[in-house]
Structure 1
Amino acid sequence: MMTLGEIVAWIPLWLLRASVFVFGLLWGSFLNVVIYRVPLDMSVVFPGSHCPGCGKPVAGYDNIPVLSYVILRGRARCCGARMSPRYPLVELLGGALSLAVFEVIIRSLPGSMGIGRAAAIYAADFALCLGLVAAAFIDLEHMILPDRITLGGVVLGIATATLRGSSFRESIVGALIGLLMIWFPLIFLFKGLTGRNGMGLGDAKLVALAGAWFGWPGAVFTLFAGAFQGALYAMVMKVLGIELKLPKAVQDDIDRLKKAAAEGDPEAIAELEEDPLTESEGDAFILRWIRTGLEKLGLVRPKSETAATEAPADEEAEEEEPPQRTWMPFGPFLILACLELLFAGDLIAAQWQALFASG
């Protein structure tokens, strides 16, 4: 069997890059099907692609990644319905991540490695990327993280541990620690104290996925880097005056449940009482924790000082309105941290070691 070095020497590098990019575009097109159908419990295989506007099947020549969207100017050929820009964005992400896996991971492997093992490593890491992208967009639109992606990613991480230079033990321990880091304090204890979930279990499973792929240090990094990045995003949105609202699909589902509950549906009443969106409370807890750290570092002004500065001089000023609940899915920020580990894990580890060594 040929080695990786022989393949790279035999096939022009530009052709390899173009091939893996196009391969990623094709899988990105399939991801759009996954993102749309999985939350609706639909098959991702049957029926074939169809127009979201009129339901007619989409012809193959109208289903070319990115190009079809550009040629049709973002509208369906059959009925003129507008297509979401998410479609070409996800396709481009698929191509970019496929190319990144090749450039950052595969090209760093020893040239003496057999092409079969190198291809298996590419397939595993690219599959992780695809699952993470699908989970991020599903969480953004529906505020859920499907088990078939999170738990499937955990299983894949454990199954490919030795292939990727780790061990089954390290992968399993990492997954368990990742799960317990969120489940015990923010779900088990929080619910015991308040009667409500502190975070969604999907977030815990996602951190478990990080542990299965990157060990327990990766799970720790994913949780805190994701929280930090989420806090920064929330602060930027607040500065810009952009309100973080519930996604339309989630609001529609809540309205449906409220209507059914008003009609006496016991299942709808139970769902509303359980409040599957209380994961935002756990997110708020983490955001407050991050803000406190930034205040201690002097990077942001303490809320007490801000309130004192902005307080009206008139004692009869209107009472302050209660703070509105911030709706922000945590999953995409955890996923961003996972991708950072995948492509820059060695650099991150080196920076941490240097930080602790200097301390």
Structure 2
Amino acid sequence: MTPPTTVAGSDGALLERARRHLWQAVGARDEYAAGRAVFTALDDGADLEDVLLDVIAPVQRKVGAEWAANRFTVAQEHAATAIHDRIIAALAHRTPEPPPAGAAGTSDAPGAPGPSGTVTVACVDGEWHALPARILAEVLRRRGFRVDFLGAQVPTPHLIAHLHQTAPAALALSSSLPTRLPNAHTAITAAQAIGVPVLAGGAAFGTDGRYARQLGADAWAPDARAAADVLARGLPQPRTGAVRQTLEDLPHLDDQEYTMVSRSKRQLVKNTLAGMEGRLPAMGAYTDRQRERTAEDIAHIVDFLATALYTDDPGLFTGFLRWTGDILQARGVPAQVLDPGLALLQEELKDFPRAVGFLTQGRTAIGGDTPAPEPRPDA
């Protein structure tokens, strides 16, 4: 389990006991025992924010680690997440209600400092991992903010229309999957164009916030505590109506490689799957389900390659391949099984030097050793 942050206000032994009991409960898929672990800690004097961030959050991280190590099934992981979500919903009723909009001493002006003003908390379009955003929303409520929590997978046009209607002080935008970064970029620039500053957070933006900065977010925070502190200080107000073009943030996209790879995804997956069937005779015995899973794996590789091209960061792609290799090895499959697909993608994308370079680095990262194809000479 990730070591908890030391927090003044809650006894460390109390939080450790709550983590242990909660872990046992979610492992057994016992929602009632999980609830007892959390509410007993609160009744014994633990602070609600500490319970959210130093009990529930680390247990959820351990659930993910156990799935990666093949000790939890997907169904067990989903069950644990659902238990945590329901417990957080119950905890919300212990949070003091913030003052109503327009009450004395409050302001809804964009960028207004402190707990004044509403903060909209939303997940990026395509992002289904809502628990980190849910935890942030409850931490903000605990701190006295008015929160408008929109949940998972908010389509960007609908998000911007909502911001138009509600005029919040800030948008807290959450994403766990790096492949959602292009959607996050669109949401960030659109929100800023209507005068709403954006705080970015979640694993997708990097452990150091590099992608939040690259995509022009007004602020980034590594966790909910830091996010609440940043929002309490207030965010700089963007200039309304100033629409920033994508190439202003990401001039490397001028080569069109990201656009071509993302638009060709379906054909790339189809061609790569067909090439693998020709080179790997064992695939002839695959069931329809195995073929479907293989196509899904290739699609994920293409998605991460496209996102790496979007950010111009090969480390994003190689990191994904190493993580995937670890997942496979935990299930008794060598990471090198990815190499034939990467080699075929190199052949498909031989006219795209950045993509070929990223694929070469990816193959090296997983121990592949087939030489990359030479780029095709200009016609």
State the TM bucket, normalised to the shorter chain: under 0.3
Under a length normalisation based on structure 2, what TM-score does the superposition of the two structures give?
0.26
Higher fraction of helix: 1
Q: Which has the higher contact order (CA 8 A, sep 6+)?
A: 1
Higher fraction of strand: 2
Under a length normalisation based on structure 1, what TM-score does the superposition of the two structures give?
0.27
